[in-house]
């Protein structure tokens, strides 16, 4: 699928090579890679965009970098490892891309990963919901120099 940014396409391909339970195990490994929020953003966590469609609390902040790419900061509690895995996929796959590139990612790109083989449709809706919030935030992102 050529309309995925290369970093996201690489993650999608990694998942597509895995079988059954391996997909879930890899998703949980990715959950552990989600970085903590930077100090400057911790105090502002409650003012971050919240993804209400997810069963687990997901908070997202986006800012535009000098080169036009968008950097995402995502916070998901450790009690939601599946959602943390989604957040890692999207943060690693989309951070640094332009708002236009992010907007072009199909909402159901995750079907190419084969996650529907190991997760329920309700669980999968979360990754699409996070992506939709990231698209909106990317379009509205302010330069990093404008941090309050």
Q: What is the pLDDT of residues 10-38, one digit of tens each?
A: 999 999 999 989 999 999 999 999 999 99
**Positions of the chain with pLDDT lower than 70, given as ranges:** 1-2, 146, 148
So what's the pLDDT on residue 138? 97
Q: How many CB atoms are located within 10 Å of the residue 16 CB?
A: 11
So what's the pLDDT on residue 1? 45
Do residues 128 and 122 lie in contact, with contact meaning Cβ atoms separated by under 8 Å?
A: no
What is the model's pTM?
0.93
Distance CA 23, CA 9 (A): 16
């Amino acid at each position: 699928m050529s309309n995925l940014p290369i970093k996201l396409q690489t993650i999608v391909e990694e998942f597509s090579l895995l079988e059954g339970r391996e997909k879930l195990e890899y998703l949980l490994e990715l959950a552990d890679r989600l970085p903590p929020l930077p100090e400057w953003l911790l105090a502002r966590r409650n003012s971050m965009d919240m993804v209400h469609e997810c069963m687990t609390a997901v908070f997202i902040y986006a800012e535009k970098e000098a080169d036009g790419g968008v950097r995402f900061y995502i916070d998901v509690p450790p009690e939601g490892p599946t959602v943390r895995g989604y957040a890692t996929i999207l943060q690693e796959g989309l951070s640094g891309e332009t708002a236009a590139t992010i907007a072009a990612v199909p909402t159901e790109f995750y079907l190419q990963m084969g996650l529907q083989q190991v997760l329920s449709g309700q669980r999968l809706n979360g990754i699409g919901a996070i992506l939709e919030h990231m698209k909106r935030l990317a379009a509205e992102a302010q330069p990093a120099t404008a941090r309050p």
